[in-house]
Chains A and B, each alone.
Chain A
Amino acid sequence: AQRVTQPEKLLSVFKGAPVELKCNYSYSGSPELFWYVQYSRQRLQLLLRHISRESIKGFTADLNKGETSFHLKKPFAQEEDSAMYYCALSAYNTDKLIFGTGTRLQVFP
C-alpha cells in the first residue's frame, strides 16, 4: 500500500537553528515525491519536488530510496518559515497525491 508518514506533528526551533522535517514513504515502485506548504491563512502550495533537485527558500530534500525517506532540511530557520508542511507522494503514471499528516513548524525569534 502507498503511504506517507510524517512522525512529528510539531517541530519548534529558534531562528537560525537547523531544521529537518522527516518524511518516510511506503511504495513498491519509483515514487514521485513532493513537499507542499501551507502558511497561515494561505492555501496549500508546492514547495519543492524531488525530480527538480532544487533549493527553494533555502529548503532542500533528498530522496533516499534505501531508507525510503524524503526529509526536508534547512540549515538556518527563519521566522517566516513557520507553517504547516506536508510530504506527498504520487505513484508512477498517476497524478493523484498521497499526503502525510503534516508537521507544523514553529520558528521562534
Chain B
Amino acid sequence: GAGVSQSPRYKVAKRGQDVALRCDPISGHVSLFWYQQALGQGPEFLTYFQNEAQLDKSGLPSDRFFAERPEGSVSTLKIQRTQQEDSAVYLCASSPTLSGPYNEQFFGPGTRLTVL
C-alpha cells in the first residue's frame, strides 16, 4: 500500500464511551507500534507488537487501554470508558524488522480523539 493508514482520522466521544482505533501497517512489516501524542508534547510509547505477539505494553496508561493484532497485520487500539485525559492524537507506526540502530518507523497520519 501507500503507507500506514489509520481510521478514523477524527473521533469525538462522550466521556464514558468506548472507542476503537484501527491501524493498517505497511504490508509485510513485522513490527507495529502505538504512540499517544498529547497537545504540545512529543509522541509517547504505548505498546508494541512483533507479528501477532504483544511484546511490550508498558506504556499503556491504564487497564482501560487494550491493543490487539490477531493476525499479525491490522491492529486495533481500544479505549474503554473514555476520560477527558484520553484526548490526544494516537499514532501508529510500523517497521520491517527488528533492526536496531537502523530502525526506521513509518508513521500513519494519526487519529485525533476528543473526549467531551
Which of A32, A51, A96 is close to B33, meaning CB atoms less than 8 Å apart?
Answer: A96
Knowing A44-B91, A97-B43, A99-B42, say if A90 contacts B109 (CB, 8 Å). no
Within 8 A of B (CB), among A3-57: 4, 6, 32, 34, 43-46, 49-52
Q: For the complex, what is the distance from the CA of A88 to the CA of B44, rounded to whole Å?
A: 11
Q: Please tell me if the beta carbons of B102 and A49 are within 8 angstroms of each other in the complex.
A: yes
The CB with the most chain B CB atoms within 10 A, among A6, A44, A86, is that of: A44
B108 at the interface (CB under 8 A from A): yes
Contacts of A49 in B (CB 8 A): 101-104
Contacts of A102 in B (CB 8 A): 41-42
Closest CB in chain A relative to B104 CB, distance in Å: 5
Q: For the complex, what is the distance from the CA of A97 to the CA of B110, rounded to whole Å?
A: 16
Q: Please tell me if the beta carbons of B101 and A95 are within 8 angstroms of each other in the complex.
A: no
B1 at the interface (CB under 8 A from A): no
Main secondary structure of the interface of A (DSSP, over half): mixed
Total residues of chain B contacting the partner, CB 8 A: 30
Q: Please tell me if the beta carbons of B107 and A97 are within 8 angstroms of each other in the complex.
A: no
Q: Please tell me if the beta carbons of B104 and A46 are within 8 angstroms of each other in the complex.
A: yes
Contacts of B40 in A (CB 8 A): 101
Q: For the complex, what is the distance from the CA of A93 to the CA of B56, rounded to whole Å?
A: 13
Interface residues as binary, B37-53 with A (CB distance below 8 Å gives 1, 0 otherwise): 00011111100100000
Q: Please tell me if the beta carbons of B98 and A95 are within 8 angstroms of each other in the complex.
A: yes
Q: Which positions in B face A, CB cutoff 8 Å?
A: 3-4, 31, 33, 35, 40-45, 48, 56, 59, 91, 93, 95, 98-110
What are 22 A-B contacts with C-beta separation under 8 Å? Answer: A6-B42, A32-B101, A43-B107, A43-B110, A44-B107, A45-B106, A45-B107, A49-B104, A50-B101, A86-B42, A94-B56, A95-B33, A95-B98, A96-B56, A96-B59, A97-B33, A97-B43, A97-B45, A98-B45, A99-B44, A101-B41, A101-B42
